[in-house]
Each structure stands twice: as C-alpha cells, then as structure tokens.
Amino acid sequence: MLNLSKKILVAIDGSPQSDKAAEEAVRMAAASGSRFRSKVYAILALPGNRAPSYTDFIPSAPPTERPGWEEKRKRIFYVVEKAAAESGVMLESVVVYGDAAEEILSFAEDYDISVIVIGSSGAGRMRRALLGSVSTKVALHARCSVYVVR
C-alpha cells in the first residue's frame, strides 16, 4: 500500500461486521502516517426519507429527530470514533437516508473516495441469493476499490 493521503469511506450500522470494518478503515488511515493524512468518513444509511412525502398519511419524524436518537448514535458510532481518536485519524460521521448501497455509492462518487471499507453481509445463502447484500452491491458497482471485511 502506498503511503499517500486517502479518503476512506466505511459503512457502519452497529453490527459486529461493521465494527470490524470501522477498525480496519482507521488502521488503513493510520498506516498512511503523519506526512500523508488520510481521512475516514463513517456513513450510516437509514431507510426512508429525511422529510415525509405527500404519500404519507401520518408523517413521522425521521429517526434522527426522535427521542433517544443521540444514545443510538453514540452506540453505533462508538467503535469508529474511539479507534479514530486513539489513532489520531481525522473522522467525519455522516447519516444519510435511503437505500444503503445506493447512498454509499453516491457518497463515494460525490466525495471522490479512494476506498470503501464495508463489513460482509452475514446473511444466509438463500437470503443473499434472493435479495442481495449491501456489500455485494457496493463491490459490484463502486468506481473505487472496495475492501470487504469478514
């Protein structure tokens, strides 16, 4: 791996696989050294839209505006924030709404991401065959390198 500044996107959701991916993304950023400072973007994709649409009969507040969100956010981002702080790696946490794979790919393209780090799905063979997984979709459609952590 070259010691050049990179923009690393890590997809997190609070699962053990995403925690491993977060630690690996921070490790990759820390390996670039102090001369070439890499930055990690931690992205959490929540289902749905931020604002209610006209088809909603009883619009509800988005998850980030509901009671208890700050506690959930701390729990989900805990591993990546702790690892980045301990390693002195720059971190930006982002919450987006929509299909997880599409949002990850869109963010990667918009921010000119060098590598996407994502946890393996952990879904069963049958479910993965029928629905596909976020990691598979990202790996197949990303324009940058994708590192799938098991």
Whose CA is closest to 102, among 61, 46, 55?
46
The structure's pTM equals 0.83
Mean per-residue pLDDT of the chain: 84
At residue 63, does pLDDT exceed 80? no
| CB distance 15 to 25 below 8 Å | no
What distance in Å separates the CA atoms of residue 32 and residue 91, rounded to the nearest whole number? 14
**Domain 7-149 bears CATH identifier 3.40.50.620:** yes
pLDDT of the residue at 32: 77
- If pLDDT is split at 50, 70 and 90, which confidence band does 1 have? very low
Coil vs helix vs strand at 29: helix
What is the domain partition of the chain in residue ranges? Answer: 7-149
What distance in Å separates the CA atoms of residue 143 and residue 128, rounded to the nearest whole number? 22
Q: What percent of the chain has pLDDT over 70?
A: 76
Angle at 78 between CA 73 and CA 128, to 5 degrees: 75
